[in-house]
Structure 1
Amino acid sequence: MRSLMDEQRRRAAAWFHELRDRIVAAFEALEDRGPGDSPAGRFTVTPTERADNGGGGLMSVMRGGRVFEKVGVNWSEVHGTLASRAQAAMAARGVPGMDSDPRFWASGVSLVAHMQNPHAPAVHMNTRMFWTPGAWWFGGGSDLNPCLEYAEDTAHFHDTLRDACLPHGADYYDRFKAWADEYFFIPHRGRARGVGGIFYDDLNTGDWEADFAFTRAVGEAFLPAFLPLAEARMAEPFTDADRDAQLVHRGLYAEYNLVYDRGTKFGLETGHNADAVLMSLPPLAKWV
Protein backbone atom coordinates (compact mmCIF):
# COMPACT_ATOMS: atom_id res chain seq x y z
CA MET A 1 0.00 0.00 0.00
CA ARG A 2 1.32 3.41 -0.98
CA SER A 3 2.07 5.87 1.80
CA LEU A 4 1.03 9.50 1.49
CA MET A 5 4.64 10.52 0.83
CA ASP A 6 4.98 7.82 -1.85
CA GLU A 7 1.98 9.32 -3.61
CA GLN A 8 3.30 12.86 -3.23
CA ARG A 9 6.64 11.86 -4.69
CA ARG A 10 4.88 10.16 -7.60
CA ARG A 11 2.81 13.30 -8.28
CA ALA A 12 5.84 15.57 -8.13
CA ALA A 13 7.94 13.41 -10.47
CA ALA A 14 5.05 13.12 -12.95
CA TRP A 15 4.51 16.87 -12.99
CA PHE A 16 8.20 17.61 -13.54
CA HIS A 17 8.12 15.16 -16.46
CA GLU A 18 5.06 16.90 -17.91
CA LEU A 19 6.75 20.30 -17.59
CA ARG A 20 9.78 18.94 -19.40
CA ASP A 21 7.57 17.67 -22.24
CA ARG A 22 5.80 21.02 -22.66
CA ILE A 23 9.03 23.03 -22.71
CA VAL A 24 10.62 20.70 -25.27
CA ALA A 25 7.56 21.06 -27.51
CA ALA A 26 7.54 24.87 -27.14
CA PHE A 27 11.25 25.14 -27.97
CA GLU A 28 10.91 22.97 -31.05
CA ALA A 29 7.96 25.10 -32.17
CA LEU A 30 10.13 28.22 -31.71
CA GLU A 31 12.81 26.56 -33.86
CA ASP A 32 10.21 26.13 -36.61
CA ARG A 33 9.59 29.91 -36.51
CA GLY A 34 13.30 30.74 -36.32
CA PRO A 35 15.23 32.79 -38.88
CA GLY A 36 17.05 31.35 -41.86
CA ASP A 37 16.62 28.39 -44.16
CA SER A 38 18.65 25.84 -42.23
CA PRO A 39 16.79 22.86 -40.75
CA ALA A 40 14.96 23.62 -37.53
CA GLY A 41 16.65 22.12 -34.51
CA ARG A 42 15.28 19.07 -32.72
CA PHE A 43 16.08 17.54 -29.36
CA THR A 44 18.05 14.35 -29.04
CA VAL A 45 16.63 12.43 -26.07
CA THR A 46 18.84 10.02 -24.17
CA PRO A 47 17.73 7.95 -21.15
CA THR A 48 20.12 8.25 -18.23
CA GLU A 49 20.76 5.96 -15.30
CA ARG A 50 22.21 6.63 -11.89
CA ALA A 51 24.87 4.29 -10.60
CA ASP A 52 23.72 1.26 -8.55
CA ASN A 53 20.25 1.16 -10.12
CA GLY A 54 19.25 4.36 -8.35
CA GLY A 55 16.79 5.67 -10.91
CA GLY A 56 17.60 7.97 -13.81
CA GLY A 57 15.92 10.32 -16.21
CA LEU A 58 15.87 11.86 -19.66
CA MET A 59 18.62 14.05 -21.07
CA SER A 60 17.17 16.17 -23.88
CA VAL A 61 19.70 18.30 -25.77
CA MET A 62 19.36 20.35 -28.96
CA ARG A 63 22.47 21.63 -30.75
CA GLY A 64 22.96 23.90 -33.72
CA GLY A 65 19.39 25.04 -34.30
CA ARG A 66 18.08 28.22 -35.86
CA VAL A 67 17.42 29.80 -32.46
CA PHE A 68 19.30 27.68 -29.92
CA GLU A 69 23.01 27.00 -30.24
CA LYS A 70 22.69 24.53 -27.37
CA VAL A 71 19.80 23.88 -25.01
CA GLY A 72 19.19 21.10 -22.54
CA VAL A 73 15.95 20.22 -20.77
CA ASN A 74 16.61 17.35 -18.38
CA TRP A 75 14.22 15.41 -16.15
CA SER A 76 15.29 13.02 -13.44
CA GLU A 77 13.96 10.84 -10.64
CA VAL A 78 16.77 9.35 -8.58
CA HIS A 79 17.18 7.63 -5.23
CA GLY A 80 19.77 5.86 -3.15
CA THR A 81 22.29 6.62 -0.44
CA LEU A 82 24.26 9.83 -0.35
CA ALA A 83 28.03 9.64 -0.46
CA SER A 84 29.75 10.80 2.71
CA ARG A 85 30.62 14.26 1.37
CA ALA A 86 27.08 14.97 0.16
CA GLN A 87 25.68 13.57 3.41
CA ALA A 88 27.94 15.86 5.44
CA ALA A 89 26.87 18.87 3.37
CA MET A 90 23.20 18.04 3.96
CA ALA A 91 23.80 17.56 7.68
CA ALA A 92 25.61 20.91 7.82
CA ARG A 93 22.51 22.52 6.27
CA GLY A 94 20.49 21.14 9.17
CA VAL A 95 18.54 18.41 7.34
CA PRO A 96 16.89 16.38 10.15
CA GLY A 97 18.32 12.89 10.60
CA MET A 98 20.88 13.26 7.82
CA ASP A 99 23.76 12.66 10.21
CA SER A 100 22.52 9.10 10.81
CA ASP A 101 20.45 8.09 7.71
CA PRO A 102 21.84 9.05 4.28
CA ARG A 103 18.96 7.73 2.13
CA PHE A 104 17.42 10.17 -0.34
CA TRP A 105 15.00 10.60 -3.25
CA ALA A 106 14.92 13.53 -5.66
CA SER A 107 13.11 14.52 -8.82
CA GLY A 108 13.09 17.63 -10.93
CA VAL A 109 13.57 19.36 -14.24
CA SER A 110 16.65 21.40 -15.12
CA LEU A 111 17.04 23.67 -18.14
CA VAL A 112 19.83 25.80 -19.61
CA ALA A 113 19.60 27.52 -23.00
CA HIS A 114 22.48 29.12 -24.92
CA MET A 115 21.24 31.09 -27.92
CA GLN A 116 22.52 31.57 -31.47
CA ASN A 117 21.86 35.32 -31.50
CA PRO A 118 23.86 37.34 -28.93
CA HIS A 119 20.87 39.67 -28.52
CA ALA A 120 18.77 36.75 -27.21
CA PRO A 121 19.48 36.02 -23.53
CA ALA A 122 20.72 32.74 -22.16
CA VAL A 123 18.46 31.37 -19.44
CA HIS A 124 18.37 28.83 -16.63
CA MET A 125 15.39 27.22 -14.89
CA ASN A 126 15.11 24.46 -12.33
CA THR A 127 12.36 23.02 -10.15
CA ARG A 128 12.79 20.02 -7.86
CA MET A 129 11.61 18.05 -4.86
CA PHE A 130 13.98 16.36 -2.42
CA TRP A 131 13.17 13.77 0.25
CA THR A 132 15.13 12.16 3.07
CA PRO A 133 13.74 9.97 5.87
CA GLY A 134 13.74 13.02 8.11
CA ALA A 135 12.50 15.77 5.79
CA TRP A 136 11.21 16.87 2.40
CA TRP A 137 11.55 20.17 0.58
CA PHE A 138 11.19 21.96 -2.74
CA GLY A 139 13.64 24.20 -4.54
CA GLY A 140 14.24 25.90 -7.83
CA GLY A 141 13.97 29.18 -9.65
CA SER A 142 14.78 30.86 -12.91
CA ASP A 143 17.33 33.49 -13.91
CA LEU A 144 18.17 35.42 -17.06
CA ASN A 145 21.74 35.64 -18.38
CA PRO A 146 22.04 38.09 -21.28
CA CYS A 147 25.42 39.10 -22.67
CA LEU A 148 23.80 42.21 -24.16
CA GLU A 149 21.36 43.60 -21.62
CA TYR A 150 18.01 45.19 -22.44
CA ALA A 151 16.15 46.86 -19.58
CA GLU A 152 12.77 45.99 -21.05
CA ASP A 153 13.69 42.29 -21.27
CA THR A 154 14.85 42.25 -17.66
CA ALA A 155 11.64 44.00 -16.56
CA HIS A 156 9.42 41.53 -18.41
CA PHE A 157 11.24 38.53 -16.96
CA HIS A 158 11.06 39.80 -13.39
CA ASP A 159 7.45 41.01 -13.71
CA THR A 160 6.38 37.56 -14.86
CA LEU A 161 8.13 35.90 -11.93
CA ARG A 162 6.66 38.44 -9.50
CA ASP A 163 3.15 37.69 -10.76
CA ALA A 164 3.79 33.95 -10.32
CA CYS A 165 5.00 34.37 -6.74
CA LEU A 166 2.34 36.76 -5.45
CA PRO A 167 -0.58 34.32 -4.97
CA HIS A 168 1.63 32.03 -2.87
CA GLY A 169 3.27 34.49 -0.51
CA ALA A 170 3.27 38.27 -0.31
CA ASP A 171 7.00 38.28 0.39
CA TYR A 172 8.03 35.38 -1.86
CA TYR A 173 9.23 37.43 -4.82
CA ASP A 174 11.29 39.86 -2.74
CA ARG A 175 12.78 37.03 -0.64
CA PHE A 176 13.60 34.76 -3.54
CA LYS A 177 14.87 37.58 -5.78
CA ALA A 178 17.30 38.58 -3.02
CA TRP A 179 18.34 34.93 -2.67
CA ALA A 180 18.99 34.72 -6.43
CA ASP A 181 21.05 37.91 -6.32
CA GLU A 182 23.20 36.34 -3.61
CA TYR A 183 23.31 32.80 -5.02
CA PHE A 184 24.13 33.69 -8.64
CA PHE A 185 26.96 36.03 -7.64
CA ILE A 186 30.52 35.11 -8.69
CA PRO A 187 32.84 36.12 -5.86
CA HIS A 188 36.11 35.75 -7.75
CA ARG A 189 34.77 38.06 -10.48
CA GLY A 190 32.95 40.40 -8.13
CA ARG A 191 29.78 40.37 -10.23
CA ALA A 192 26.54 38.53 -10.90
CA ARG A 193 26.40 36.04 -13.75
CA GLY A 194 23.27 37.71 -15.20
CA VAL A 195 20.35 40.01 -14.38
CA GLY A 196 18.85 37.69 -11.79
CA GLY A 197 15.48 36.12 -11.24
CA ILE A 198 14.38 34.05 -8.27
CA PHE A 199 15.99 31.20 -6.36
CA TYR A 200 14.74 29.18 -3.39
CA ASP A 201 15.73 25.99 -1.63
CA ASP A 202 14.77 24.00 1.49
CA LEU A 203 11.15 25.15 1.09
CA ASN A 204 9.05 23.28 3.62
CA THR A 205 6.30 25.36 5.22
CA GLY A 206 4.72 22.22 6.64
CA ASP A 207 2.05 22.32 3.90
CA TRP A 208 3.20 20.00 1.11
CA GLU A 209 0.31 20.91 -1.19
CA ALA A 210 0.99 24.64 -0.87
CA ASP A 211 4.72 24.24 -1.48
CA PHE A 212 4.10 21.97 -4.48
CA ALA A 213 1.61 24.51 -5.87
CA PHE A 214 4.20 27.26 -5.61
CA THR A 215 6.84 25.11 -7.31
CA ARG A 216 4.40 24.39 -10.13
CA ALA A 217 3.77 28.15 -10.46
CA VAL A 218 7.50 28.76 -10.84
CA GLY A 219 7.70 26.14 -13.56
CA GLU A 220 4.58 27.42 -15.33
CA ALA A 221 5.97 30.97 -15.36
CA PHE A 222 9.08 30.02 -17.29
CA LEU A 223 7.75 29.95 -20.85
CA PRO A 224 5.75 33.22 -20.53
CA ALA A 225 8.82 34.87 -18.98
CA PHE A 226 11.34 33.70 -21.57
CA LEU A 227 9.73 32.85 -24.91
CA PRO A 228 8.68 36.43 -25.83
CA LEU A 229 12.27 37.60 -25.28
CA ALA A 230 13.77 34.83 -27.41
CA GLU A 231 11.24 35.38 -30.19
CA ALA A 232 11.75 39.15 -30.23
CA ARG A 233 15.57 38.91 -30.38
CA MET A 234 16.25 35.79 -32.44
CA ALA A 235 16.44 37.55 -35.83
CA GLU A 236 18.19 40.81 -34.82
CA PRO A 237 21.35 41.61 -36.79
CA PHE A 238 24.55 41.22 -34.78
CA THR A 239 28.24 42.00 -35.22
CA ASP A 240 31.46 40.13 -34.59
CA ALA A 241 31.85 42.24 -31.45
CA ASP A 242 28.43 41.08 -30.25
CA ARG A 243 29.44 37.45 -30.79
CA ASP A 244 32.70 38.05 -28.94
CA ALA A 245 30.80 39.51 -25.98
CA GLN A 246 28.54 36.45 -25.98
CA LEU A 247 31.47 34.03 -25.85
CA VAL A 248 33.17 35.94 -23.03
CA HIS A 249 29.93 35.96 -21.05
CA ARG A 250 29.59 32.22 -21.58
CA GLY A 251 33.01 31.81 -19.99
CA LEU A 252 31.65 33.57 -16.93
CA TYR A 253 28.63 31.25 -16.93
CA ALA A 254 30.86 28.17 -17.17
CA GLU A 255 33.03 29.35 -14.28
CA TYR A 256 29.99 29.72 -12.05
CA ASN A 257 28.52 26.33 -12.89
CA LEU A 258 31.77 24.47 -12.38
CA VAL A 259 32.88 26.23 -9.20
CA TYR A 260 29.76 27.23 -7.28
CA ASP A 261 26.56 25.64 -8.58
CA ARG A 262 24.92 23.45 -5.93
CA GLY A 263 23.13 21.23 -8.46
CA THR A 264 26.33 20.47 -10.39
CA LYS A 265 28.12 19.42 -7.21
CA PHE A 266 25.20 17.29 -6.04
CA GLY A 267 24.76 15.53 -9.38
CA LEU A 268 28.40 14.58 -9.69
CA GLU A 269 28.75 13.52 -6.05
CA THR A 270 25.68 11.25 -6.22
CA GLY A 271 26.79 9.37 -9.33
CA HIS A 272 24.32 10.77 -11.87
CA ASN A 273 25.23 10.75 -15.56
CA ALA A 274 28.06 13.27 -15.95
CA ASP A 275 26.92 14.41 -19.40
CA ALA A 276 23.46 15.17 -18.02
CA VAL A 277 24.89 17.03 -15.01
CA LEU A 278 27.22 19.11 -17.21
CA MET A 279 24.56 19.77 -19.86
CA SER A 280 24.55 23.39 -18.64
CA LEU A 281 27.97 24.14 -20.13
CA PRO A 282 27.95 26.21 -23.34
CA PRO A 283 29.10 24.70 -26.65
CA LEU A 284 31.65 27.49 -27.16
CA ALA A 285 33.11 30.01 -24.72
CA LYS A 286 36.03 32.43 -24.51
CA TRP A 287 38.30 33.84 -21.84
CA VAL A 288 40.19 37.09 -22.28
Structure 2
Amino acid sequence: MTDKMDAQKAQASDWFGTLRNEICAAFEALEDSQTEGPTSQLPAGRFELRETSRTSADGSDAGGGLMSVMRGGRVFEKVGVNISTVYGELGEGAQRAMAARKGLAGMADDPRFWASGISLVAHMQNPHAPAVHMNTRMFWTPHGWWFGGGSDLNPCLEYEQDTLDFHAVQKTHCDRHDAQYYPKFKEWADEYFYIPHRKRARGVGGIFLDDHNTGDWAVDFAFIQDVGRAFLAAFLPITERRRNTPWTEADKEAQLVHRGLYAEYNLVYDRGTKFGLESGHDPEAVLMSLPPLAKWI
Protein backbone atom coordinates (compact mmCIF):
# COMPACT_ATOMS: atom_id res chain seq x y z
CA MET A 1 0.00 0.00 0.00
CA THR A 2 2.85 2.37 0.84
CA ASP A 3 4.50 1.92 -2.56
CA LYS A 4 1.16 2.50 -4.29
CA MET A 5 0.47 5.64 -2.28
CA ASP A 6 3.99 6.93 -2.92
CA ALA A 7 3.36 6.51 -6.65
CA GLN A 8 0.04 8.33 -6.34
CA LYS A 9 1.67 11.18 -4.47
CA ALA A 10 4.27 11.53 -7.22
CA GLN A 11 1.55 11.44 -9.87
CA ALA A 12 -0.37 14.22 -8.15
CA SER A 13 2.70 16.37 -7.62
CA ASP A 14 3.71 15.97 -11.28
CA TRP A 15 0.22 17.00 -12.42
CA PHE A 16 0.28 20.20 -10.38
CA GLY A 17 3.58 21.05 -12.03
CA THR A 18 2.17 20.37 -15.49
CA LEU A 19 -0.83 22.57 -14.79
CA ARG A 20 1.45 25.33 -13.58
CA ASN A 21 3.43 25.20 -16.83
CA GLU A 22 0.27 25.38 -18.95
CA ILE A 23 -1.10 28.36 -17.04
CA CYS A 24 2.16 30.31 -17.07
CA ALA A 25 2.55 29.77 -20.82
CA ALA A 26 -1.03 30.92 -21.44
CA PHE A 27 -0.57 34.04 -19.32
CA GLU A 28 2.69 35.02 -21.02
CA ALA A 29 1.02 34.55 -24.41
CA LEU A 30 -1.77 36.86 -23.22
CA GLU A 31 0.84 39.46 -22.31
CA ASP A 32 2.41 39.21 -25.78
CA SER A 33 -0.94 39.72 -27.48
CA GLN A 34 -1.90 42.86 -25.52
CA THR A 35 -1.49 45.67 -28.09
CA GLU A 36 -4.25 48.08 -27.02
CA GLY A 37 -4.89 50.33 -24.05
CA PRO A 38 -2.71 52.38 -21.69
CA THR A 39 -0.57 49.44 -20.57
CA SER A 40 0.20 48.14 -24.07
CA GLN A 41 3.47 50.10 -24.18
CA LEU A 42 4.83 48.28 -21.16
CA PRO A 43 7.17 45.33 -21.70
CA ALA A 44 5.24 42.07 -21.95
CA GLY A 45 5.21 40.52 -18.50
CA ARG A 46 7.25 37.45 -17.70
CA PHE A 47 7.24 35.19 -14.67
CA GLU A 48 10.14 35.46 -12.27
CA LEU A 49 10.96 32.10 -10.72
CA ARG A 50 12.25 31.41 -7.24
CA GLU A 51 12.61 28.10 -5.47
CA THR A 52 11.01 27.97 -2.05
CA SER A 53 11.95 25.74 0.86
CA ARG A 54 10.60 24.60 4.17
CA THR A 55 12.51 23.27 7.15
CA SER A 56 11.17 21.26 10.07
CA ALA A 57 11.54 22.24 13.71
CA ASP A 58 14.79 20.27 13.94
CA GLY A 59 16.22 21.99 10.87
CA SER A 60 15.82 19.09 8.46
CA ASP A 61 14.49 19.41 4.93
CA ALA A 62 10.70 19.43 4.78
CA GLY A 63 10.06 20.10 1.12
CA GLY A 64 9.50 23.22 -0.94
CA GLY A 65 8.39 24.31 -4.34
CA LEU A 66 8.54 26.89 -7.10
CA MET A 67 7.21 30.43 -6.78
CA SER A 68 6.34 32.08 -10.12
CA VAL A 69 5.35 35.75 -9.98
CA MET A 70 4.73 38.28 -12.74
CA ARG A 71 4.61 41.97 -11.80
CA GLY A 72 3.76 45.07 -13.79
CA GLY A 73 2.70 43.37 -17.01
CA ARG A 74 0.39 44.63 -19.71
CA VAL A 75 -2.58 42.51 -18.61
CA PHE A 76 -1.54 41.38 -15.14
CA GLU A 77 -0.53 43.90 -12.50
CA LYS A 78 0.51 40.95 -10.33
CA VAL A 79 -0.05 37.24 -10.75
CA GLY A 80 1.48 34.35 -8.86
CA VAL A 81 1.38 30.66 -9.74
CA ASN A 82 3.01 28.60 -7.00
CA ILE A 83 3.53 24.87 -6.67
CA SER A 84 4.82 23.10 -3.59
CA THR A 85 5.31 19.67 -2.08
CA VAL A 86 5.88 19.73 1.68
CA TYR A 87 6.04 17.09 4.39
CA GLY A 88 6.96 16.49 7.99
CA GLU A 89 4.93 16.50 11.19
CA LEU A 90 1.95 18.69 11.98
CA GLY A 91 2.21 20.98 14.99
CA GLU A 92 -0.13 20.48 17.93
CA GLY A 93 -2.52 23.21 16.81
CA ALA A 94 -2.79 21.79 13.29
CA GLN A 95 -3.24 18.28 14.73
CA ARG A 96 -6.17 19.39 16.87
CA ALA A 97 -7.78 21.38 14.08
CA MET A 98 -7.47 18.53 11.60
CA ALA A 99 -8.69 15.90 14.04
CA ALA A 100 -11.71 18.05 14.92
CA ARG A 101 -12.62 19.03 11.37
CA LYS A 102 -11.95 15.73 9.66
CA GLY A 103 -12.69 13.34 12.50
CA LEU A 104 -9.28 11.69 12.18
CA ALA A 105 -8.27 9.63 15.18
CA GLY A 106 -4.62 9.14 16.08
CA MET A 107 -3.21 12.46 14.82
CA ALA A 108 -1.37 13.03 18.08
CA ASP A 109 0.16 9.54 17.94
CA ASP A 110 1.36 9.87 14.33
CA PRO A 111 1.30 13.49 13.11
CA ARG A 112 3.11 12.92 9.82
CA PHE A 113 1.75 14.66 6.74
CA TRP A 114 2.49 15.22 3.05
CA ALA A 115 0.84 17.89 0.91
CA SER A 116 1.24 18.98 -2.68
CA GLY A 117 -0.61 21.52 -4.73
CA ILE A 118 -0.83 24.55 -6.97
CA SER A 119 -2.07 27.98 -5.90
CA LEU A 120 -2.83 30.92 -8.17
CA VAL A 121 -4.00 34.50 -7.65
CA ALA A 122 -4.19 37.11 -10.43
CA HIS A 123 -4.67 40.85 -9.94
CA MET A 124 -5.35 42.67 -13.20
CA GLN A 125 -4.28 46.01 -14.67
CA ASN A 126 -7.72 46.78 -16.10
CA PRO A 127 -10.35 47.26 -13.35
CA HIS A 128 -12.97 45.76 -15.68
CA ALA A 129 -11.03 42.47 -15.83
CA PRO A 130 -11.73 40.41 -12.70
CA ALA A 131 -9.18 39.13 -10.25
CA VAL A 132 -9.24 35.38 -9.81
CA HIS A 133 -8.08 32.65 -7.45
CA MET A 134 -7.54 28.94 -8.07
CA ASN A 135 -5.91 26.10 -6.21
CA THR A 136 -5.92 22.32 -6.19
CA ARG A 137 -4.12 20.09 -3.74
CA MET A 138 -3.67 16.61 -2.33
CA PHE A 139 -3.14 16.03 1.38
CA TRP A 140 -2.00 12.79 3.03
CA THR A 141 -1.62 11.60 6.63
CA PRO A 142 -1.26 8.02 7.86
CA HIS A 143 -4.90 8.34 8.87
CA GLY A 144 -6.32 9.30 5.48
CA TRP A 145 -5.85 11.23 2.23
CA TRP A 146 -8.02 13.77 0.43
CA PHE A 147 -8.14 16.35 -2.34
CA GLY A 148 -9.25 19.95 -2.16
CA GLY A 149 -9.33 23.20 -4.06
CA GLY A 150 -11.50 25.22 -6.35
CA SER A 151 -11.68 28.45 -8.29
CA ASP A 152 -13.51 31.73 -7.67
CA LEU A 153 -13.92 35.02 -9.52
CA ASN A 154 -13.32 38.36 -7.79
CA PRO A 155 -14.41 41.34 -9.91
CA CYS A 156 -14.40 44.85 -8.53
CA LEU A 157 -16.78 45.90 -11.32
CA GLU A 158 -19.28 43.09 -11.79
CA TYR A 159 -20.67 41.91 -15.12
CA GLU A 160 -23.48 39.40 -14.95
CA GLN A 161 -22.36 37.67 -18.16
CA ASP A 162 -18.88 37.10 -16.78
CA THR A 163 -20.33 35.52 -13.65
CA LEU A 164 -22.67 33.29 -15.64
CA ASP A 165 -19.91 32.18 -18.01
CA PHE A 166 -17.43 31.44 -15.21
CA HIS A 167 -19.95 29.32 -13.33
CA ALA A 168 -21.07 27.53 -16.50
CA VAL A 169 -17.53 26.25 -17.10
CA GLN A 170 -17.22 25.08 -13.50
CA LYS A 171 -20.52 23.24 -13.80
CA THR A 172 -19.54 21.57 -17.07
CA HIS A 173 -16.32 20.20 -15.60
CA CYS A 174 -18.04 19.07 -12.39
CA ASP A 175 -20.92 17.40 -14.26
CA ARG A 176 -18.45 15.12 -16.05
CA HIS A 177 -17.97 13.40 -12.70
CA ASP A 178 -21.15 13.84 -10.67
CA ALA A 179 -24.21 16.01 -11.24
CA GLN A 180 -24.30 16.77 -7.51
CA TYR A 181 -20.79 18.21 -7.40
CA TYR A 182 -21.42 21.67 -8.85
CA PRO A 183 -24.37 22.67 -6.62
CA LYS A 184 -22.62 21.22 -3.58
CA PHE A 185 -19.28 22.90 -4.22
CA LYS A 186 -20.83 26.18 -5.36
CA GLU A 187 -22.71 26.42 -2.07
CA TRP A 188 -19.51 25.57 -0.21
CA ALA A 189 -17.68 28.39 -2.03
CA ASP A 190 -20.45 30.84 -1.18
CA GLU A 191 -20.04 29.94 2.49
CA TYR A 192 -16.24 29.73 2.51
CA PHE A 193 -15.55 33.02 0.73
CA TYR A 194 -17.98 35.01 2.87
CA ILE A 195 -16.45 37.82 4.96
CA PRO A 196 -18.36 37.96 8.26
CA HIS A 197 -17.09 41.34 9.43
CA ARG A 198 -18.10 42.91 6.10
CA LYS A 199 -21.30 40.88 5.80
CA ARG A 200 -20.63 40.14 2.16
CA ALA A 201 -18.82 37.72 -0.15
CA ARG A 202 -15.38 38.65 -1.44
CA GLY A 203 -16.43 37.99 -5.05
CA VAL A 204 -19.03 36.27 -7.21
CA GLY A 205 -18.11 32.75 -6.19
CA GLY A 206 -17.15 29.62 -8.01
CA ILE A 207 -16.53 26.22 -6.45
CA PHE A 208 -14.70 25.12 -3.32
CA LEU A 209 -14.10 21.64 -1.91
CA ASP A 210 -12.02 20.05 0.79
CA ASP A 211 -11.67 16.63 2.43
CA HIS A 212 -12.69 15.04 -0.89
CA ASN A 213 -12.27 11.27 -0.68
CA THR A 214 -14.82 8.90 -2.21
CA GLY A 215 -12.58 5.91 -1.46
CA ASP A 216 -11.35 5.69 -5.06
CA TRP A 217 -8.12 7.64 -5.47
CA ALA A 218 -8.02 7.43 -9.27
CA VAL A 219 -11.58 8.69 -9.60
CA ASP A 220 -10.96 11.57 -7.22
CA PHE A 221 -7.67 12.48 -8.88
CA ALA A 222 -9.39 12.60 -12.26
CA PHE A 223 -11.93 14.99 -10.81
CA ILE A 224 -9.37 17.31 -9.22
CA GLN A 225 -7.55 17.42 -12.57
CA ASP A 226 -10.75 18.67 -14.19
CA VAL A 227 -11.10 21.31 -11.49
CA GLY A 228 -7.67 22.51 -12.58
CA ARG A 229 -8.45 22.30 -16.29
CA ALA A 230 -11.60 24.35 -15.81
CA PHE A 231 -9.53 27.36 -14.75
CA LEU A 232 -8.13 28.49 -18.10
CA ALA A 233 -11.33 27.48 -19.89
CA ALA A 234 -13.31 29.77 -17.56
CA PHE A 235 -10.91 32.66 -17.04
CA LEU A 236 -9.24 33.33 -20.39
CA PRO A 237 -12.43 34.19 -22.35
CA ILE A 238 -13.50 36.67 -19.66
CA THR A 239 -10.07 38.30 -19.66
CA GLU A 240 -10.11 38.54 -23.46
CA ARG A 241 -13.53 40.20 -23.26
CA ARG A 242 -12.58 42.81 -20.63
CA ARG A 243 -8.89 43.59 -21.04
CA ASN A 244 -9.41 46.41 -23.57
CA THR A 245 -12.39 48.08 -21.87
CA PRO A 246 -11.55 51.77 -21.25
CA TRP A 247 -11.36 52.67 -17.57
CA THR A 248 -11.57 55.82 -15.46
CA GLU A 249 -9.89 56.95 -12.25
CA ALA A 250 -13.11 56.05 -10.44
CA ASP A 251 -12.86 52.52 -11.84
CA LYS A 252 -9.29 52.23 -10.57
CA GLU A 253 -10.37 53.53 -7.18
CA ALA A 254 -13.07 50.86 -7.00
CA GLN A 255 -10.46 48.23 -7.85
CA LEU A 256 -8.10 49.33 -5.08
CA VAL A 257 -10.88 49.34 -2.48
CA HIS A 258 -12.02 45.87 -3.56
CA ARG A 259 -8.44 44.65 -3.26
CA GLY A 260 -8.51 45.78 0.36
CA LEU A 261 -11.48 43.48 0.87
CA TYR A 262 -9.56 40.63 -0.78
CA ALA A 263 -6.54 41.21 1.47
CA GLU A 264 -8.70 41.23 4.59
CA TYR A 265 -10.18 37.86 3.74
CA ASN A 266 -6.85 36.22 2.94
CA LEU A 267 -5.16 37.47 6.10
CA VAL A 268 -8.02 36.83 8.52
CA TYR A 269 -9.93 33.78 7.28
CA ASP A 270 -8.17 31.81 4.55
CA ARG A 271 -7.23 28.27 5.65
CA GLY A 272 -4.36 27.99 3.19
CA THR A 273 -2.71 31.16 4.46
CA LYS A 274 -3.02 30.01 8.07
CA PHE A 275 -1.69 26.52 7.33
CA GLY A 276 1.22 27.81 5.25
CA LEU A 277 2.41 30.24 7.90
CA GLU A 278 1.82 27.86 10.82
CA SER A 279 3.63 24.99 9.09
CA GLY A 280 6.75 27.06 8.41
CA HIS A 281 6.50 27.47 4.65
CA ASP A 282 8.20 30.39 2.90
CA PRO A 283 6.12 33.45 3.92
CA GLU A 284 6.68 35.18 0.58
CA ALA A 285 5.12 32.22 -1.20
CA VAL A 286 2.26 31.99 1.29
CA LEU A 287 1.47 35.71 1.00
CA MET A 288 1.82 35.76 -2.79
CA SER A 289 -1.95 36.19 -2.97
CA LEU A 290 -1.86 39.75 -1.63
CA PRO A 291 -2.43 42.50 -4.20
CA PRO A 292 0.41 44.87 -5.21
CA LEU A 293 -1.68 47.92 -4.24
CA ALA A 294 -4.85 48.21 -2.17
CA LYS A 295 -6.84 50.90 -0.43
CA TRP A 296 -9.17 51.26 2.53
CA ILE A 297 -11.73 54.01 2.96
Q: TM-score range by the shorter chain?
A: over 0.9
Q: Aligned to 1:243, which of 246, 252, 276?
A: 252
Deviations 1:92-139 (CA, angstroms, capped at 9, x unpaired): 111343232111000000000000000000000000000001100000
> Scaled by the length of structure 2, what TM-score is found?
0.96
Q: Aligned to 2:46, which of 42, 46, 65?
A: 42
Q: In 2, are the aligned partners of 1:82 and 1:270 still within 8 Å (CA)?
A: yes
Q: In 2, are the aligned partners of 1:144 and 1:197 still within 8 Å (CA)?
A: yes
Deviations 1:155-212 (CA, angstroms, capped at 9, x unpaired): 1100000000001111000000000000000000000000000000000100101110
> Scaled by the length of structure 1, what TM-score is found?
0.98
Give 1:2 shift: 6.5
Count the aligned residue pairs: 288
Q: In 1, are the aligned partners of 2:92 and 2:108 still within 8 Å (CA)?
A: no
Alpha-carbon distance in structure 1 between the residues aligned to 2:247 and 2:49: 31
- Determine the structure 2 residue equivalent to 1:118: 127
Alpha-carbon distance in structure 2 between the residues aligned to 1:98 and 1:191: 35
After alignment, is 86-95 or 113-122 more displaced?
86-95
Amino acid at match of 1:44: E
Give 1:231 shift: 1.4
- Determine the structure 1 residue equivalent to 2:28: 28
Give secondary structure in 2 for the equivalent of 1:50.
strand
Give secondary structure in 2 for the equivalent of 1:120.
coil
Q: How do residues 246-261 of structure 1 correspond to structure 2 at under 5 angstroms?
A: 246-261=255-270
* Unaligned stretches of 5+ residues in structure 1: none
Deviations 1:136-161 (CA, angstroms, capped at 9, x unpaired): 00000000000000000001100000
Q: How do residues 12-161 of structure 1 correspond to structure 2 at under 5 angstroms?
A: 12-34=12-34, 35=36, 36-52=40-56, 53-93=61-101, 94-161=103-170
Deviations 1:10-69 (CA, angstroms, capped at 9, x unpaired): 000000010001100000000001131221000000000011310100000000000000
Measured on the aligned residues, the alpha-carbon RMSD in Å equals 1.0
- Determine the structure 1 residue equivalent to 2:201: 192
Give 1:214 shift: 0.5
Amino acid at match of 1:163: T
Amino acid at match of 1:175: K
